[in-house]
């Protein structure tokens, strides 16, 4: 439709907010998504942290009413299944994760599409073009096509708030999970928006689980029947989405009627910011990349010669428009990523989109047209480092010293401790995805048995996906050392609790799950727990444990310094410091600063962890006090 005139109005666009009391809040996109879910009457929210998705669940926990249940699950698969169970029982449920989390949760999600849900279920996935804080640049719109699930893709904070409510309504009406996908600039952008007052949030009564094996038990026969239904439903939904008010066409302004621009998500905002309101090509904004609003696309393409698809990550809109042109014999040239007009990877910016639009519209190159700002001066490169006093530094350094001169492999994993790869530690040889390091170490061991293989894993990662790898190693007779870096939090994503912390997102204090007990239950007989900041003991423990046969484990237990209050800072005695800079060269702690041929300690950074005190060969550093976590009795951990 062109500006909503030609077809019926999509019901969800008109149903909310008309008779409701609202107020204005300045919100981050993720907060808006959380408030939208609460306004839609969400009953259960489960998730696993990951940037840029984390604030959604945290905001639900902060702003929820007493009858809303919220949890950090141990990983995304668990979260997906918890939400599915709640939705089976008729609750409105949301599951939150970052884009790579969807890989972990894909097994239940792919089957869930065949089974369906009773209460509305929204799968909130945050994509990370760039990537800014992820290991992949995957596009959840493509995952929506693969899984055949309807998908929403908002362009702004205000839209995210509204669209998540649309997603719940659609999910419940169709009995299917719905993907709600936003990208970093929407998730972490801020806007003042109108939100519904809390006392007018929808109350969603929960019917409860009704037993019906013909519906809830997946079997091949059921799957083939439901597959056919899903295909038919998606064809209908494509038609319905052509009337959805957020899939719209903006008619061209000015003389030129040959060109069109198709876009989505935050790129729509960039395009609108760049284009002259009085003179621009016809625009199509795609808010539901799957099922693609085909009828609307045909209308958009009528009479055009060329279309530029301005998108980030995969060429989803571009491919869909090419298919529409083929199906309807439309002679329109579709340009975008596949033709090299839009960069194939990385995040778009107002400047990069401006340059692409200027070239497409035959205008002066972006610089001359004044579209792009002058290049800002280069900022100094500041690689990420472990915090001053981070216990991970001490753990890596202990293993490094203990294994010096031996043939070793150090498999890292995902967390703050990935930063152990940087000089001078240089202790991460591999890093793939969460939990992978433990299995990669086994793979190397099986072809290179003379290498001492180590796998470093954080405590949250151990619970999320390290346990199965450890069992695999034990069962398949690997010879390797597992090093659990237990800082009692999920530090990298903002210090969320996990089963080892003894706290839940509902605010309950619960029994801590013991990593040591898990390792023993698997069958490991050599499990030692040590404070990594007790340097000589840590080194001695690594030397001894690494030479035990089979799978053995060291748990380095010391709190993340961001959560612990420093007791006393260390200082360098300038009369004793000879300027050898051993502390700086060995540890790379940002608190140690070379100055005038000697070293001083930046007291605004130092946490008094004492590691440099123990490393200095001239006893020139003193005064710190390390923060210890409760450790089991000495020797009791074997």
Ligand X SMILES: Cc1ncc(C[n+]2csc(CCOP(=O)(O)OP(=O)(O)O)c2C)c(N)n1
- Among ligand SF4, ligand X, none, partner that 104 touches (CB below 5 to 8 angstroms by kind): ligand X
Distance CA 603, CA 573 (A): 14
Cis peptide bond N-terminal to 616, omega within 30:
no
Q: Give me the 6-45 binding string for ligand X, x by CB under 6 A, dash otherwise.
A: ----------------------------------------
CA dihedral 12, 18, 20, 22 (to 10 degrees): 100
Distance CA 108, CA 93 (A): 15
Concatenating the DSSP letter of every residue in 515-569 gives HHHHHHHHT-S-EEEE-TTSHHHHHHHHHHHHTSSSEEEEEEE---TTTSPP---
Binding segment toward ligand SF4, per CB under 6 A, in 64-72, 381-389, 467-475, 629-637: 381-389
The CB-of-460 to ligand X minimum distance in angstroms stands at: 3
Give the relative orientation of helices 535-546 and 391-402 as an angle to the nearest 10 degrees.
50
Report how many residues bind ligand SF4 under the rule CB under 6 A: 26
Distance CA 60, CA 45 (A): 8
Interface with ligand X, residue 99, by CB under 6 A: no
Site of tokens 């509902």:
506
The CB-of-470 to ligand SF4 minimum distance in angstroms stands at: 21
CB 198 within 8 A of CB 111: no
Give 3-state DSSP helix, strand, coil % of the chain, rounded to 5. Answer: 35, 20, 45
Nearer to ligand SF4, 291 or 566 (CB): 566
The CA angle 596-600-601, to the nearest 5 degrees, is: 155
CA dihedral 104, 391, 384, 312 (to 10 degrees): 10
- Among ligand SF4, ligand X, none, partner that 588 touches (CB below 5 to 8 angstroms by kind): none
CB 464 within 8 A of CB 101: no
- Among ligand SF4, ligand X, none, partner that 386 touches (CB below 5 to 8 angstroms by kind): ligand SF4
Nearer to ligand SF4, 353 or 620 (CB): 620
Near ligand SF4 by CB under 6 A: residue from 94, 104, 182, 388 = 388
- Among ligand X, ligand SF4, none, partner that 606 touches (CB below 5 to 8 angstroms by kind): ligand SF4
Interface with ligand X, residue 100, by CB under 6 A: yes
Which parts of 488-517 interact with ligand SF4 (CB under 6 A)?
Answer: 491
Binding segment toward ligand SF4, per CB under 6 A, in 13-21, 207-215, 312-320, 387-395: 387-395
Near ligand SF4 by CB under 6 A: residue from 35, 115, 591, 614 = 591
The CB-of-386 to ligand X minimum distance in angstroms stands at: 9
- Among ligand X, ligand SF4, none, partner that 458 touches (CB below 5 to 8 angstroms by kind): ligand X
Nearer to ligand SF4, 40 or 627 (CB): 627
Interface with ligand SF4, residue 416, by CB under 6 A: yes
Nearer to ligand X, 161 or 410 (CB): 410
Near ligand SF4 by CB under 6 A: residue from 30, 352, 372, 487 = 487
Which parts of 555-584 interact with ligand SF4 (CB under 6 A)?
Answer: 560-562, 570
Nearer to ligand X, 50 or 119 (CB): 50
Residue 443 burial (CB < 10 Å; 0-12/13-18/19+)? middle
CA dihedral 196, 199, 201, 203 (to 10 degrees): -170
CB 42 within 8 A of CB 204: yes
Report how many residues bind ligand X under the rule CB under 6 A: 23
- Among ligand SF4, ligand X, none, partner that 592 touches (CB below 5 to 8 angstroms by kind): ligand SF4
Interface with ligand X, residue 396, by CB under 6 A: no
Binding segment toward ligand X, per CB under 6 A, in 97-105, 144-152, 203-211, 604-612: 97-105
Distance CA 128, CA 136 (A): 8
Near ligand X by CB under 6 A: residue from 104, 269, 287, 621 = 104
Near ligand X by CB under 6 A: residue from 291, 415, 499, 588 = 415
Dihedral sign, Cα of residue 133, residue 138, residue 141, residue 145: negative
Distance CA 127, CA 182 (A): 6
Report the largest interatomic distance among the alpha carbons of the chain, rounded to a whole angstrom. 84
At 97, which helix (H) or strand (E)? strand 93-98
Interface with ligand SF4, residue 54, by CB under 6 A: no
Q: Give me the 423-462 binding string for ligand X, x by CB under 6 A, dash otherwise.
A: -----------x-----------------------xxxx-
Near ligand X by CB under 6 A: residue from 41, 49, 116, 336 = 49
Half-sphere exposure of 246 (CA within 13 A, CB side): 26
Half-sphere exposure of 107 (CA within 13 A, CB side): 7
Distance CA 497, CA 505 (A): 7
Token pair belonging to 17: 């907010």
Q: Give me the 164-203 binding string for ligand X, x by CB under 6 A, dash otherwise.
A: ----------------------------------------
- Among ligand X, ligand SF4, none, partner that 390 touches (CB below 5 to 8 angstroms by kind): ligand SF4
CB 241 within 8 A of CB 7: no
Token pair belonging to 31: 């907060």
Distance CA 498, CA 218 (A): 31
Q: Give me the 111-150 binding string for ligand X, x by CB under 6 A, dash otherwise.
A: ----------------------------------------
Q: Give me the 470-509 binding string for ligand X, x by CB under 6 A, dash otherwise.
A: ---------------x-x-xxxxx----------------
Q: Give me the 599-628 binding string for ligand SF4, x by CB under 6 A, dash otherwise.
A: --x----xxxxxxx-----------x----
Pairing of strands 306-310, 408-411: unpaired
Distance of CA 288 to the CA centre of its chain: 21
The CB-of-543 to ligand X minimum distance in angstroms stands at: 24
Distance CA 216, CA 209 (A): 10
- Among ligand X, ligand SF4, none, partner that 193 touches (CB below 5 to 8 angstroms by kind): none
Q: Give me the 577-606 binding string for ligand X, x by CB under 6 A, dash otherwise.
A: ------------------------------
Q: Residues interacting with ligand SF4, by CB under 6 A? A: 386-390, 392, 416, 487, 491, 560-562, 570, 587, 589, 591-592, 601, 606-612, 624
């Amino acid at each position: 439709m062109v500006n909503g005139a030609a077809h019926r109005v999509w019901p969800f666009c008109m149903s909310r907010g008309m008779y409701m009391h609202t107020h204005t809040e300045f919100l981050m996109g993720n907060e808006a998504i959380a408030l939208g879910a609460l306004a839609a009457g969400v009953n259960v929210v489960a998730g696993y942290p990951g940037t840029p998705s984390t604030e959604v669940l945290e905001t639900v926990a902060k702003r929820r009413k007493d009858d809303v249940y919220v949890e950090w699950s141990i990983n995304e698969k668990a979260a997906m299944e918890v939400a599915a169970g709640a939705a089976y029982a008729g609750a409105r449920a949301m599951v939150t994760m970052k884009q790579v989390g969807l890989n972990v949760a894909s097994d239940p999600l792919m089957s869930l599409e065949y089974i369906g849900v009773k209460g509305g279920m929204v799968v909130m996935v945050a994509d990370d073009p760039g990537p800014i804080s992820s290991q992949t640049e995957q596009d959840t719109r493509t995952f929506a096509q693969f899984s055949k699930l309807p998908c929403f893709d908002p362009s702004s904070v205000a839209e995210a708030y509204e669209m998540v409510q649309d997603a719940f309504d659609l999910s419940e009406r169709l009995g299917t999970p719905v993907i709600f996908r936003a990208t970093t600039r929407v998730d972490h952008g801020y806007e003042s928006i109108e939100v519904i007052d809390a006392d007018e949030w929808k109350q969603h009564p929960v019917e409860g689980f009704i037993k019906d094996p013909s519906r809830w038990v997946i079997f091949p026969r059921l799957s083939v029947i439901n597959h056919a239904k899903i295909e038919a439903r998606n064809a209908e939904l494509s038609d319905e989405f052509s009337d959805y008010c957020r899939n719209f066409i903006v008619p061209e302004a000015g003389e030129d009627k040959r060109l069109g621009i198709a876009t989505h998500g935050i790129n729509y905002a960039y395009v609108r910011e760049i284009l002259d309101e009085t003179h621009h090509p016809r625009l199509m904004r795609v808010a539901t990349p799957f099922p693609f609003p085909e009828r609307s696309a045909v209308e958009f393409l009528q009479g055009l010669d060329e279309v530029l698809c301005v998108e980030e990550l995969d060429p989803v809109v571009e491919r869909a428009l090419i298919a529409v042109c083929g199906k309807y014999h439309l002679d329109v040239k579709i340009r975008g990523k596949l033709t090299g007009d839009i960069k194939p990877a990385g995040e778009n910016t107002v400047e990069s989109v401006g340059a692409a639009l200027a070239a497409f519209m035959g205008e002066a190159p972006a610089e001359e047209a004044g579209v792009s700002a002058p290049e800002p001066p280069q900022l100094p490169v500041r690689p990420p480092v472990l915090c001053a006093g981070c216990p991970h530094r001490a753990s890596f350094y202990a293993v490094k010293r203990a294994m010096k001169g031996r043939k070793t492999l150090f498999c890292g994993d995902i967390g703050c401790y990935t930063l152990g790869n940087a000089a001078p530690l240089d202790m991460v040889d591999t890093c793939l995805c969460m939990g992978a390091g433990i299995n990669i170490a086994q793979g190397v061991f099986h072809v290179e048995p003379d290498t001492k293989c180590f796998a470093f894993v954080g405590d949250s990662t151990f619970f999320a996906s390290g346990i199965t790898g450890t069992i695999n190693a034990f069962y398949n007779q690997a010879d390797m050392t597992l090093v659990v870096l237990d800082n009692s939090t999920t530090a990298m994503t903002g210090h969320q609790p996990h089963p080892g912390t003894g706290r839940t997102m509902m605010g309950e204090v619960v029994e801590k799950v013991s990593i040591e007990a898990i390792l023993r239950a698997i069958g490991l007989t050599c499990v030692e727990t040590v404070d990594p900041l007790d340097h000589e003991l840590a080194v001695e423990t690594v030397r001894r444990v690494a030479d035990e046969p089979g799978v053995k484990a060291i748990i380095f237990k010391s709190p993340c310094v961001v959560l612990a209050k420093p007791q006393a800072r260390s200082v360098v005695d300038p009369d004793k410091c000879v300027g050898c800079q051993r502390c700086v060269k060995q540890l790379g702690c940002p608190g140690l600063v070379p100055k005038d041929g000697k070293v001083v300690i930046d007291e605004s950074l130092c946490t008094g962890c004492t590691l440099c005190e123990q490393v200095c060969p001239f006893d020139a550093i003193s005064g710190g006090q390390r923060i210890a976590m409760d450790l089991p009795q000495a020797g009791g951990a074997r």
